[in-house]
Amino acid sequence: MKNVFLGMMLLFITLSTQAQEEKNKNAKYTIDVNGNCEQCQHRIQKAAFSVKGVKMASWSIETHKLDVTLNEEKNSINEVKKAIAKVGHDTEGVKATQEDYDNLHGCCKYDREETAK
Amino acid sequence: MNKQITLLLLVLICVFNSYSQDTLQVVKVISKNKGLQKSSKITTNTTLVTSKELLKAACCNLAESFETNPSIDVNYSDALTGTKQIKMLGLTSPYLMIAEENIPSVRGASQAYGMSFTPGTWVESIQITKGAGSVVNGYESISGQINTELIKPINNIPFFLNTYGSTDSRFELNTHFNTTISDKWSSGLFVHGNTRIAKNDMNNDGFLDNPLAKQINILNRYQYYNADKGWVSFINFRYMNDKKQTGELDFDPNRDKETTNFWGSEINTERFDVSSKIGYVFKDMPYQSIGFQNAFDSHNQESYFGLNFYNIKQSSFYSNLIFNSIINNTMNKFSAGLNFTYDKYQEFVNVSDYSRIDNSIGAFFEYTFDNASNFSFIAGGRIDNHNRLGTFITPRLHLRYNPWEKGVLRASVGRGKRSANIFAENQPLFASSRSFDILDTNGKIYGLDPEIAWNYGLSFSQGLSLFGKKADIGFDFYKTNFKNQVVVDLYTAPAILGTHQVLFYNLNGKSYANSLQVDFNLEIIKHFDLRTAYKYYDIQTDYISGQSERPLQARHRFFGNLGFETHIKEKGKQWKFDFTYNWMGEQKLPETASNPEIDRLPVYSPSYSLMNAQITRTFSSTFEMYIGGENIGNYKQEKAILGSENPFGSTFDASIVYAPVFGQMYYAGLRFKIK
């Protein structure tokens, strides 16, 4: 019984100290991702989460910005961009192929001109 | 062994205190227009009751804040104390987990009157969860969980004043003061007082319809908030003193206590609480936090009901340590932690001493999956060791699926286990000539075994557009299946004619509670809303005398609420109107067939309906007044007290109450704020 508590205690301490030392495990990025609606939101977030090391991903319908928290020991932000482009959404830096864009649902076909910058 | 565990825990507490921590799941309070909010994105079947909704009822305390809400049924517990009992899924409040800011609050000794010890104005919001609920706060909840959030000093107004008066001669005064001590500390002082000064006997039976009362209730809380470092904390100090006197009009406690001159009762309760919460959110990891809560309270009730004396003092310590984080990403969250509970009861029923010490220690783990769009589930489990309940596992599961737009399908299953505090929970029965007979002797709680039940739930709701109006329809079906229950038997005829009894025994056979609720809500025009619900309850228990439905439980209920408000004009001027209708089907009544004819009640009570209404006039954003009426149709239970002519005789019973005793009541009040 006692050992269980001690074990739990140790676990807490280990977890908290680890988290505070290695910063790059929680690298934060905000990137522009093109999209329109709630469906896009689900698709973008799903794609981001499919990349190993992505802990948090949240895309805003209003601002078209994606907030990502990433463990950089596992992957770089570029991998996240690639994964999102693969499902049809342009990101700053990595663009979706025409084919992937065409596969998007009608309401998700965002205006591609915008991404030129 | 227990001592060692306690010691070890104390050490842990000290270590952690000087170390770090968080408040638990931080409840986001959205101050939207809606009084009742049900999100289609959350996994559990939870309704959020906002402060706006709470203003719709006369609402003097927590027990009275559910009148405009179909999920919870408000009943009238006894003719003497007038305390309102609540039910959910057809089960009384002991089967619910009632928590205040995630610390279990109404439990044990406070079960009968506890909800009337939280003033309504202190409440910021209430979350009502149907079904099993989370494992984080404990194993006791069976049919649901009610969590109350109190107002937070940090974002509340500096001064609030509320006065209230009603035709049943009840008066209330609430004042809140909030100040900012530094950029991180703020503090609030809430003072509540209520009193009933005049004796009312509208049905001329010689007994008070509601008790003379006096309550003083003070809460002082300190809030610490440091967003940069991720620290949050609360420290609360609270004192409450509540005195009630009831019985015959001519009863004078100084003269008639412990005599048979006149029948009377006094219930005096004093409470003292200290609680603390400390939470830490990890830097750069908003999804990871650690929280630590501690609460100590002392509850002391001294009371007598005629010649029945009942005293209970409960000293409790509760501690909860919780760690929240993710597995890989925020689609996979978990909470893990430990609970510790210690309860020392000093309980005396007349000359019998039922004093005892209960303690339990447990560990929990709860995993939440959410695909961030249409599917989520929460799977939780806990293992506890309790000195009377033994070592046991409590599994609970909740699922949510959105099959299409605005449609939500939910399912839940879970187990609950608890020890029934038979005297505290059935206090109204002391106000009768009944003898309390416990038929079992081998169990560890008053000779009885723990109660164990499984709860299963299925619900579906759909948002609609009806002739261009916003509407929604919902179906909730819940089943509670008791493996064991402490049966409170008011049906079995007494062995000796002319005596009365209440029997307590372990369930032998089946006991279940099925409930079906159908909701329909419609926004008729902007700011004009209709809420309706039909509820069906089938609650059956195997008694010694055979299977029967539970007493004082309507099989059918109907609820309707209309709310209208005008547009807010310059300086915040506004009118608000609210009307609630409740219809209660017939309820089976306890056995009275062995009484002489004049003291008999029918097997079933008549069905009846109740209407409440309120008008609020907001003169400016700082001042408003309200008037309202309860039970406008003036429905009264015909015979509230059996044997009232001879209260020390064998047929006396003030516990059979199926409808209001007082009749119509009107009230008025005002609210003043300094912003």
User: 10 Å Cβ neighbour count for B326?
Assistant: 17
Neighbouring residues of B231: CB distance < 8 A, sequence distance ≥ 6: B20, B224, B225, B278, B279, B280
User: Is A33 part of any domain?
Assistant: yes
B4, B12, B329 ranked by CB distance to A56: nearest:
B329
B523 to chain A, minimum CA–CA distance in Å?
25
Q: In what side-by-side order are the strands of the sheet with B96-100? A: B36-37, B45-50, B123-130, B144-150, B96-100, B103-104
The letter for the amino acid at A95 is K
Q: Are B129 and B145 in contact (CB under 8 A)?
A: yes
Q: What is the secondary structure of B498-563 as a DSSP string?
A: T--EEEEEE--S-EEEEEEEEEEEEEEETTEEEEEEEEEEEEEEEETTEEEEPTT-BSEEEEEEEE
Q: Is CATH 3.40.50.10490 correct for B2-674?
A: no
Could A15 and B323 be called an inter-chain contact, meaning their C-beta atoms sit closer than 8 Å?
A: yes
Containing A14, the helix (H) or strand (E) segment is helix A2-21
Closest CA to B580 of B190, B64, B41, B150: B64
Neighbouring residues of B28: CB distance < 8 A, sequence distance ≥ 6: none
Please report the pLDDT score of residue B448 as a whole number: 96
| Better-scored residue on pLDDT, B236 or A105 | B236
The C-alpha angle B562, B566, B570, rounded to 5 degrees, equals 155
Phi, psi of B89 (to 5 degrees): 55, 30
Could A5 and B283 be called an inter-chain contact, meaning their C-beta atoms sit closer than 8 Å?
A: no
A-chain residues within 8 Å CB-CB of B373?
Answer: 42, 46
Could B286 and A49 be called an inter-chain contact, meaning their C-beta atoms sit closer than 8 Å?
A: no
Please report the pLDDT score of residue B3 as a whole number: 52
Token digits of residue A109? 């076909």
Question: Hunting for tokens 């609950």 — which residue is that?
Answer: B416
B9, B282, B284 ranked by CB distance to A28: nearest:
B284
Neighbouring residues of B572: CB distance < 8 A, sequence distance ≥ 6: B618, B620, B621
- The ipTM value here is 0.72
For residue B48, what are the β-bridge partners? B37, B127
List, as ranges, residues 273-302 from B with C-beta within 8 Å of A. 282-288, 290
CB pairs < 8 Å spanning A and B: 58
Write the CATH number for A38: 3.30.70.100
Between strands B501-506 and B435-438, the pairing is parallel
Phi, psi of B500 (to 5 degrees): -135, 155
The C-alpha angle B567, B573, B575, rounded to 5 degrees, equals 60
Could B329 and A9 be called an inter-chain contact, meaning their C-beta atoms sit closer than 8 Å?
A: no
User: Is A2 part of any domain?
Assistant: no
User: Is A9 part of any domain?
Assistant: no
B135 to chain A, minimum CA–CA distance in Å?
18
CA distances, B407 to each of B40, B373, B460, B475 (Å)? 8, 13, 7, 12
Could A42 and B372 be called an inter-chain contact, meaning their C-beta atoms sit closer than 8 Å?
A: yes
Token digits of residue B484? 């064991």
In chain B, which residue's Cα lies nearest the Cα of A19? B282
Phi, psi of B31 (to 5 degrees): -90, 60
> Count of domains in chain A?
1
- Put simply, whether A5 touches B (Cβ < 8 Å) is yes
Gap between the Cα atoms of B97 and B417, Å rounded: 11
The helix/strand/coil state of B159 is: strand
Give start and end residues of each alpha helix (H) in B131-202: none
Could A2 and B5 be called an inter-chain contact, meaning their C-beta atoms sit closer than 8 Å?
A: yes
pTM over 0.90, yes/no:
no
Could B288 and A19 be called an inter-chain contact, meaning their C-beta atoms sit closer than 8 Å?
A: yes
Token digits of residue B535? 């509820």
Gap between the Cα atoms of B502 and A77, Å rounded: 70
User: Is A34 part of any domain?
Assistant: yes
Between strands B375-386 and B407-418, the pairing is unpaired
- Put simply, whether B329 touches A (Cβ < 8 Å) is yes
B-chain residues within 8 Å CB-CB of A2?
Answer: 4-5, 8
Neighbouring residues of B564: CB distance < 8 A, sequence distance ≥ 6: B527, B528, B529, B576, B577, B578
The packing angle between helices A38-49 and A77-86, to 10°, is 130
- Put simply, whether B13 touches A (Cβ < 8 Å) is no
Closest CA to B509 of B479, B537, B547: B547
The helix/strand/coil state of B673 is: strand
Could B329 and A49 be called an inter-chain contact, meaning their C-beta atoms sit closer than 8 Å?
A: yes
In chain A, which residue's Cα lies nearest the Cα of B337? A8
The letter for the amino acid at B170 is R
Phi, psi of A77 (to 5 degrees): -65, -25
Q: Please give the residue range of the domain that contains residue A98.
A: 23-116
Please report the pLDDT score of residue A10 as a whole number: 58
Between strands B123-130 and B546-549, the pairing is unpaired
B-chain residues within 8 Å CB-CB of A7?
Answer: none
Sign of torsion over alpha carbons B131, B133, B139, B144: negative
Report CA Rg, chain A: 18
The helix/strand/coil state of B487 is: strand
| Total number of residues shown for chain A | 117
The three-state DSSP-derived secondary structure of B281-341 is ECCCCCCCEEEEEEEEEEEEEEEEECCEEEEEEEEEEEEEEEEEEEECEEEEEEEEEEEEE
Gap between the Cα atoms of B630 and B611, Å rounded: 6
Could A42 and B9 be called an inter-chain contact, meaning their C-beta atoms sit closer than 8 Å?
A: no
Token digits of residue B431? 């106000």
Could A19 and B282 be called an inter-chain contact, meaning their C-beta atoms sit closer than 8 Å?
A: yes
Given a cut of 50, whether residue A72 has pLDDT beyond it is yes
Residue of A18, A22, A49, A80 to mutate, testing the B interface (most B Cβ within 10 Å of its Cβ): A49
The packing angle between helices B2-17 and A2-21, to 10°, is 10
User: Is A14 part of any domain?
Assistant: no
Neighbouring residues of B380: CB distance < 8 A, sequence distance ≥ 6: B134, B135, B136, B364, B365, B366, B367, B395, B396, B397
Sign of torsion over alpha carbons A36, A39, A45, A46: negative
User: Is A73 part of any domain?
Assistant: yes
Average pLDDT of adjacent 10-residue blocks, chain B of 675 residues = 48 38 35 72 90 79 86 74 84 93 92 90 94 92 94 93 93 95 95 93 88 95 94 96 94 94 95 96 91 97 96 97 94 95 96 95 96 92 96 97 94 96 93 93 94 97 91 96 96 85 95 96 93 96 94 94 91 92 94 89 94 94 93 90 91 91 91 93
Gap between the Cα atoms of A5 and B9, Å rounded: 8
Q: What is the secondary structure of B38-94 as a DSSP string?
A: --TT-SSEEEEEEHHHHTTS---BGGGTTTT-TTEEEEE--TTT-PEEEEETTEEGG
Gap between the Cα atoms of B410 and A38, Å rounded: 22
Token digits of residue A110? 């965002």
Token digits of residue A62? 């209003």
For residue B247, what are the β-bridge partners? B264
A5, A15, A69 ranked by CB distance to B12: nearest:
A5
Q: Are B329 and B285 in contact (CB under 8 A)?
A: no
Could A5 and B9 be called an inter-chain contact, meaning their C-beta atoms sit closer than 8 Å?
A: yes
Token digits of residue B587? 């309820």
Gap between the Cα atoms of A74 and A72, Å rounded: 5
A1, A9, A16 ranked by CB distance to B12: nearest:
A9
Closest CA to A37 of A104, A96, A100, A91: A104
Could A12 and B290 be called an inter-chain contact, meaning their C-beta atoms sit closer than 8 Å?
A: yes
